[in-house]
Homo-oligomer: A and B are copies of this chain.
Amino acid sequence: MKKVTMAEVAKHANVSKSTVSQYLNKRYDYMSKKTKQRIEQAIRELGYQPNFVARSLKQKKTSTIGVIVANILHTFSTQIIRAIEDVCHESDYHVIVCNADDDPDKEKKYIQMLMAKQVDGLIVFPTGGNINLYQSMVKEKFPLVFVDRIVSGLSVDTVILDNEAAAKLAVNHFIEKGYERIGIVTTSLIHNLTPRVERITGFIKAMEEHQMPIRDDYVRGMEVHLIKEGLREMYALDQPPQAILAGNDLALMEILTYAKENKITIPGQLALIGIDEVSFANIYNPPLTTVKQPVFQMGKKAAELLFRKIENPDPSGESRVHRFEPELIERESC
């Protein structure tokens, strides 16, 4: 493990450190051809690699951003991460990803860790449990973008799906296909997370618009491991639902498992639509009708918003919510 420094390169090339520095930063304006070549040669011979850490310290810029997802088990999270990474790599930013695991304490720890590491900005899927921390970040004008969840009363740019529209798309499709007993199943609602709440709201609104009755029995938000039990209860009703909207990919997996275990045919006995695209939607038997989020654009937008904040900090601190439109991909499960 060696460590060639700029000083050694300078000595080797018979120039001063600052000349080397200028060379590295492509300020060739007033540099003689000969000097340039000597430096190039010295760098090659010594195998010199600039030290980013030292540069970061000096420049107060690490060219690194942090991404904290609430729960990496969601396909959506991983897809967004990939989109962010793509954009960042193009712009020569590095990305450090952390998974808060739906735990506000972990989220807090990661935010502090990443700030201590002097990341230039943060994209977070907020758990919602650290309002004070978020607030202080806003106050200090730390570049911050939220994804997927709205934290009310806070001025932070937020990239999010039009969740109500997503649920409506699904409900309308169910109704078009002639289904009447329609339900929605999603993961736990106890934390009032935006997507889940909005999807339920959208579901209810869409049903009302069509004058369809809404049965509480058919509207369920439960922790993942309780979903199967919830489905059992629904199926124990005298009139179980004919169609179910899966609020997200995790809920979808549970419903699929339940259907398989209980030999419920899809779409014969149960019409199914999932919000969130899943890798196997196309090849499943039957292929799964899903409501797809424009993940790549959303990730890209989040990164771009962050870059803008990093590169020209807006003193006004204005922010807005950027909604993206979902799209129904009709396949055969409904």
Chain A residues in the interface with B (C-beta under 8 A): 1-3, 47, 49-54, 56-57, 60, 62, 64, 72, 78, 82, 85, 89, 94-99, 112-113, 115-118, 136, 140-142, 253, 256-257, 260, 278-280, 282-285, 287, 313
Contact = CB atoms under 8 A, between A and B. Distances in A.
Given A1-B142, A85-B97, A313-B1, A118 B285 contact: no
Contact of A47 (B1, B89, B136): B136
A16 B94 CA distance: 35
B50 A116 contact: yes
B49 A116 contact: yes
6 contacts: A50-B116, A52-B116, A53-B53, A53-B56, A54-B57, A78-B78
Contacts of A89: 98
The 6 closest A-B pairs by CB, nearest first: A285-B285, A280-B280, A52-B117, A256-B283, A52-B116, A53-B118
B53 A62 contact: yes
Task: Tell me how many chains of this kind the complex includes.
Answer: 2
A57 B53 contact: yes
B117 A53 contact: yes
B279 A116 contact: no
B49 A112 contact: yes
Contact of A280 (B1, B52, B64, B279): B279
| Interface hub of A51, A53, A82, A283 (most chain B Cβ within 10 A) | A53
A78 B72 CA distance: 11
A284 B285 contact: yes
B97 A97 contact: yes
Given A1-B313, A53-B53, A99 B116 contact: no
